[in-house]
Structure 1
C-alpha cells in the first residue's frame, strides 16, 4: 500500500484537495463566461483611454483591460515578460527587447517593433502631457533593430527598466495612434463602450495571445465616488467588486453572506506635508517638531481600525526588498516636539492644516494631530476641504496639508517622482543634492547589496530632512462577491495591481 503522503500528492495533482474537514474536494476550475462589474472610487470627465495620461486606479484598470505592457509585475513586484519575450542587457544602459511573434492588435494588425518605438517615444513629447515624462527623460533613444527587436538606450544605467515598463502608463499602442475615442490594443478585452465619467465596457478579445484567457465574456467599469454608496451597490448585487473600502465598513461586509474583504499590504501612504518653501516650513526645527507630534499607534487604531503598518517617515514600505529596517523608529514625543517648535518660534501660534476625504484618512489624522499639538502648545486649525478639486487646488499648495501616494513598483520610481529635487510631485519642495546623487548611483547599480545601501542612505535623508511625515502604510481594502474567483492580494494596488480582468472568473 502506497504511503498516505504519496497518495495525497497524486490526488492533489489530479485536482483534488483536502478541505479543513478532511473531505476530498475538487479544486475550483476556472469557468468561462459572464460579465464582471467593477465600481472604483473615482470617475470624471478626465477619464482617458490614453495610458500616458492615466492618473487614477480607474485609468490603470482600463489600460490593462485593453492594452499589454512589454513586462508585467507579479505579486512580489518582480518583472515577468509579457509582449517582450526577453529583455537583455550587459550594463543596464543598453537594452535589447525581443518581442513575441504572432501577437495581433484588436483590429488584426500584427505587433511590431515600430509600435513599441512609437509608444515609448511619445512620452517625451510635451504635447502628450504624459504622467511619466519625468521617468522617460532617462531614455536616450528607442529604435527598431528589426521587425521584432527594439533597442532602448538610457542616458544613465537603470537596472529597474523591466519594472518601470510593467506599469500601466507604458502599455503598447499601435504606431501612429493619436485619437483615444476607443482603444486598439493587444489586451484581453476590446473596447465596446467608453464614456468619460460614465462607464467603460470591454468584451473578450477572441484573438488574445494567451491561450484560454480571459475567462470573462465582458467587463463593466465605472466610478462611485461615495464609499457608502459603493458598498451599498456591492451588497445589493449591482456590482461584483469595489475598492477603497473604509475600515469602518469591513464588519458590515463580513457580516453579509456571499461577500468578502480582500486585504493587501502595500506601499500606499497618506502623508503630512510641510511645504519647506514658505513660512515656518523653511525652518528645519518646525518640520522635526511636527514629526514628533505624530502618534502612529493611535492613528493606526483610530483612523484605520488596525488595517495599516507602522511607518517611520521613510517612503519605502517594510514589504519592499529595499526597505531600510535599521532606521530607529521616531517616537511620538510631545516634549521633544515642543522643544523644536519653540526653536522654530511656533509656540502659541494658530496654524491652518488642510485635509480632505480625497486623501484617505487625512481628516481623522489631522484631528488626532490637532490633539497632539495642543499638548505641545501649538493650535492647529483644521481646514476640511471638498474632495472635488483637492488635488489641483490644495495639494502641494497649502503650507501644511496631506498627500495620498499610491504604491510604486520600484524604489527608483517613487524617489524619482516624489523626492528628487526637480521631481514633478516633490510634495514639500525639498531639495537635497546628496539625495539626487545617490539616486543616480542606485539606479546604475546592478549589485543588489550595494544598491540596498544606497537606498538605505536615501531613506535616512528623507526621514531626517524631508518635509513629509509618513505615519503609516495603509493596507488596501477591497470588497467583492464570493462569486468572483481567482482574486488575490497585490502590493501594487487594488484589483490585483489593476490587472484583475485578465485573471479572474465568475462562478455560475
Structure 2
C-alpha cells in the first residue's frame, strides 16, 4: 500500500510535549506540585483532581487581544481552508460553514438556516441566511456556496475533503434557484449528507476568490464571513485578526487575536508560563507538563474531554493479522481501562474497541469482554500459541509510546509477546503508518458519524488504517445512508459499530482528553473537534 500523509495529524505537524524536567527548569519560581491549582467552579477531573475539566467560564471584558502561540508550519501554508496546508488556527475566526457540529455531534445551522431532503435522500435544499456579508462588503449568496464546494472538489486543490464529497456530488449537480437557496442532487442517497459539510475544509469563501486571475487569492486574503477579519498573515510566521463588527451572530468579545509561530514545544510552554502568550494551539500537553502548567501563577489547563481518539491498527493484509481469531485474541487480551489509567493517567475514557465516542447519540452502549485466557485459547486454535510480533510507535505524539508499552504489558497474560519499536517522529506517518503489521495512531473525534465510519473503515478508503475489508459492514453503511428514518439509521450505525468491535483489524483502547495550556485571564475557552469558540472566548473582566 502506498502511504499517504494522513489528514488527521495536527496541522503544523508537531505535537510532542516537553519533559517534566525541561519545563521545570524553564519556569523558575513555580509552586510545588503539592499545591496544584484547580479552577474554581469547574467539575473535578474524572480521576485526577489537578487537571480541570474545562477553562473558566464567566463574563469576558469587551475588548482586549488574545495572544496565541502555534507551531511554525511550512512556508507553503495558506488561508485556503480547502487545502491540506491550511493555517488551521485562523480558519474558524475568518470563515463560516453552511452547517457545523455541536458537542453532541448533531448538525446545526451556520450560514444555512435550515435544510431538507426529498424522501429518497438524493436532493438536498439549503435555505441560506439573508443579510450576511463577507469582510470586503460583498453579500453572501448561494453562488458562493457552490463555488466553495466546487473548489474543494477540484482535483488541483487536493483537498482532504475532496475524496469524501466527490463520491456524492457530480459535475453540474449544484444549483441556485434563487440567491438564498442552494440545491444539491447527490449521486446516491445520503441521509447524513449535511454532516459531511461540517469538516473544517468546508468553510465558505467568496465566488472566484481562489482564482489567481482575479488578483490575490483566498490563500492570502482570508476574506470570509467569520467573526474576525484578517489584518496580517505571514506563512509560518506572525499574523493578526481584528473583530468584525458586522458578523451575523454578533461581534466577538475580543478586539483581536495575535498569532506567534514558536516551533519548539518547550519554548511555547515557557512563553505561557512567563505570561508572554495566552494560549498554546496545536499542542496536547502531556500529563506531567499539564501538572506543571496548572501549578503556575500565570497559566492553567483547559481539558477537553475525549477530544482525541487513539487507535492500534492491525494490518488486515499482513500474515500476522489476516486470521480473525488472532485479531479477536488481540482485543480480548487487554483491558482498555488499564490503558487509560497508565497511558493517560486517567484523563480519558476507555474505548473498548468502539471508535464512536460515548458522547455521541448513536454510540453503541455495549462493552466487549476482557478475557486473557480466552485470548490464549483462540491463539492456540489459530496455531499461533506464543504469538510474538513488533508494535511500532513514535514520539510524534506524547501518548503513543505510553499506550504501546501499556498494551504490551497488558497482553502478556495471554501469552502475547510484543516488542516495542520506536520510529522517528519525522518519518512515522510516511514509513510506518499503514505499512507495519501493528502500529499506533490517533485522530480527532469531531467527525460526523457517516464520515468516521466510511472514511476510516470502509473497504478501499485511503484512510482505512488497517486495510480491513468486510462486505457486510460496507452494506450496512450503504443502508444507513439510504435510511431517512433517524431511529432506524441509528440502529444501522450501531450494527456497524458492533462489527468493528467483533471483526475489524482496529483496536480503540481509549479516547483521550486534550490538555490545552491557557493563561489564567482567559475565559470561555470551549473546544469541540479541535476548534474553539471564537465568538465567546475572551479575557477576564
Fold similarity call, TM over 0.5: yes
Q: Go from structure 1 to structure 2 and tell me whether the alpha carbon gap of 1:200 and 1:355 turns closer, same or farther (over 3 Å shift).
A: farther
Q: Go from structure 1 to structure 2 and tell me whether the alpha carbon gap of 1:450 and 1:267 turns closer, same or farther (over 3 Å shift).
A: farther
- Which of 156, 169, 175 is the matching residue for 1:139? 169
- Structure 2 distance, partners of 1:45, 1:281, is 41
- Which of 181, 188, 204 is the matching residue for 1:172? 204
How is 1:120-131 mapped onto 2 (pairs within 5 angstroms)?
120-131=149-160
Per-residue CA deviations over 1:110-133 (Å, capped at 9, x if unaligned) read 212111111112222222111112
- Structure 2 distance, partners of 1:287, 1:244, is 30
- Structure 2 distance, partners of 1:217, 1:389, is 40
- Is 1:337 matched up with 2:375? yes
- Structure of greater relative contact order (alpha carbons < 8 Å, 6+ residues apart): 2
Q: Which residue of 2 aligns with 1:404?
A: 442
Q: Is the CA contact 2:112–2:128 (under 8 Å) kept in the aligned structure 1?
A: yes
Say how many residue pairs are matched. 474
- Which of 483, 502, 526 is the matching residue for 1:464? 502
- Structure 2 distance, partners of 1:42, 1:465, is 41
- Structure 1 distance, partners of 2:381, 2:237, is 52
How is 1:94-173 mapped onto 2 (pairs within 5 angstroms)?
94-136=123-165, 137-140=167-170, 141-173=173-205
Displacement after TM superposition at 1:275 (Å): 0.5
Q: Which residue of 1 aligns with 2:295?
A: 255
How is 1:3-402 mapped onto 2 (pairs within 5 angstroms)?
28-40=58-70, 43-45=73-75, 47-54=77-84, 59-91=87-119, 92-136=121-165, 137-140=167-170, 141-178=173-210, 179=217, 180-211=219-250, 213-222=251-260, 224=262, 227-242=265-280, 243-266=283-306, 268-325=308-365, 327-331=366-370, 333-348=371-386, 350-402=388-440
Report the more deviating stretch, 63-72 or 178-187. Answer: 178-187
- Structure 2 distance, partners of 1:401, 1:45, is 30
Q: Which residue of 2 aligns with 1:12?
A: none
- Structure 1 distance, partners of 2:164, 2:191, is 13
- Structure 2 distance, partners of 1:397, 1:416, is 20
- Is 1:500 matched up with 2:533? yes
Q: Go from structure 1 to structure 2 and tell me whether the alpha carbon gap of 1:370 and 1:459 turns closer, same or farther (over 3 Å shift).
A: same
Unaligned ranges ≥5, structure 2: 1-40, 43-56, 211-216
- Structure 1 distance, partners of 2:444, 2:303, is 15
Displacement after TM superposition at 1:281 (Å): 1.9
Q: Is the CA contact 1:49–1:59 (under 8 Å) kept in the aligned structure 2?
A: yes
Q: Go from structure 1 to structure 2 and tell me whether the alpha carbon gap of 1:87 and 1:349 turns closer, same or farther (over 3 Å shift).
A: closer
- Structure 2 distance, partners of 1:505, 1:165, is 28
Displacement after TM superposition at 1:237 (Å): 1.0
The CA RMSD measured in Å over matched residues stands at: 2.5
- Structure 1 distance, partners of 2:398, 2:492, is 31
Displacement after TM superposition at 1:346 (Å): 4.1
Q: Go from structure 1 to structure 2 and tell me whether the alpha carbon gap of 1:189 and 1:301 turns closer, same or farther (over 3 Å shift).
A: same
Q: Which residue of 1 aligns with 2:16?
A: none
Q: Go from structure 1 to structure 2 and tell me whether the alpha carbon gap of 1:191 and 1:251 turns closer, same or farther (over 3 Å shift).
A: same
Per-residue CA deviations over 1:198-222 (Å, capped at 9, x if unaligned) read 34422223443333x1222221335
Per-residue CA deviations over 1:99-154 (Å, capped at 9, x if unaligned) read 22222222222212111111112222222111112321212421111222211122
Q: Is the CA contact 1:270–1:359 (under 8 Å) kept in the aligned structure 2?
A: no
Q: Is the CA contact 1:120–1:142 (under 8 Å) kept in the aligned structure 2?
A: no
Displacement after TM superposition at 1:59 (Å): 4.2
Q: Is the CA contact 1:97–1:151 (under 8 Å) kept in the aligned structure 2?
A: yes
- Structure 2 distance, partners of 1:432, 1:126, is 29
Per-residue CA deviations over 1:3-40 (Å, capped at 9, x if unaligned) read xxxxxxxxxxxxxxxx99xxxxxx95442322212234
Q: Pick the structure with more helix per residue.
A: 1
Per-residue CA deviations over 1:433-489 (Å, capped at 9, x if unaligned) read 11111112212323222112101110111001111111111122223122112223x
Q: Go from structure 1 to structure 2 and tell me whether the alpha carbon gap of 1:396 and 1:46 turns closer, same or farther (over 3 Å shift).
A: farther
SS in 2 for 1:43: coil
Q: Is the CA contact 2:368–2:501 (under 8 Å) kept in the aligned structure 1?
A: no
SS in 1 for 2:337: helix
TM-score normalized by the length of structure 2: 0.81
TM-score normalized by the length of structure 1: 0.86
Displacement after TM superposition at 1:41 (Å): 6.0
Q: Which residue of 2 aligns with 1:23?
A: none
Q: Go from structure 1 to structure 2 and tell me whether the alpha carbon gap of 1:194 and 1:150 turns closer, same or farther (over 3 Å shift).
A: same
